[in-house]
Amino acid sequence: MTSHTPSVSRSERRALTRAAILDASRELFRENGYQGTTIRAIARQVGVDPALVIHHFGTKEALFQAASEIEFDLAETLPGPRDELSTRVLAYLLGKLDEEPDALLATLRSMLTHEQAAEAARCAFLDDGAAKISSVLDGDDAGLRSGLICTVLVGLMVTRHLLKLDDVVQAPPERLIELLDPCLRQLVDAEAGG
């Protein structure tokens, strides 16, 4: 009797290789930024030839774009009592960073030196995040206040995950929410300005 090992199809191998390249690139972009990451380093980490990385993605730019796609949808946090909005937004953000931090952190690390990363961050936080938050706020300055909420959130991500300020890194998410919620709640509930 012979044992049968299921074979992996060519398309499955391609998909697995592509996923491994994306995982390695997210990790290296997160650690080194766009400028400090090379196709060769990504290939070395995956154990493939650099030409295979190019075959799958074409260019470093295209690979970065694929690796830094941010699944960040604050719309999930909007339904519910308005007085709990800031708590929901903070919990969502902290949960998102714990679930899948590499793409988000790769973008954040690279956004100051790489135009595409800056655009990805702007789209995720301003076009999507701030616009969605603004849609549930009252007042003429809802856009300003939602932009400031996103500013606090980006600051928290940078401080906790890139600068790694010890006390902020070690704080449990519940404590961060407890301390930041009053600040964000003030922005949610502020009197409409002119």
Domain match, 108 and 177 both = yes
- Structural domain boundaries enclosing 46: 10-67
Residue at 3 is within a domain:
no
CATH for 169: 1.10.357.10
Letter for the amino acid at 194? G
Express as a percent the part of the chain with pLDDT over 90.
26
- pTM (whole model) above 0.75: no
Q: Give the CATH number, domain containing residue 27.
A: 1.10.10.60
If asked whether residues 39 and 103 sit together in one domain, one would say no
Domain membership of residue 2 (yes or no) is no
pLDDT tens track for 165-194: 999 999 999 999 999 999 999 998 876 454
* Whether residue 45 is found in the same domain as residue 93: no
From residue 58, give the alpha-carbon distance in Å to each of 30, 32, 53, 95, 163: 20, 21, 8, 33, 32
Q: Which of 108, 114, 93 is nearest to 173 (CA)?
A: 93
Question: Between 166 and 95, where is the model more confident?
Answer: 166
Whether residues 33 and 84 fall in one domain:
no
pLDDT at residue 167 in the model: 95
Token representation of residue 28:
């290296």
Q: Please state, in angstroms and rounded to a whole number, the distance separating the CA atoms of residues 4 and 154.
A: 51
Domain count of the chain?
2
For residues 129 and 143, give the distance between their C-alpha atoms in angstroms, rounded to a whole number: 11
**For the segment 110-157, what is each residue's pLDDT rounded down to a tens digit?**
777 778 777 777 776 766 778 888 888 888 898 899 889 888 988 888
Q: Is 109 exposed, middle or buried (0-12, 13-18, 19+ CB in 10 A)?
A: buried
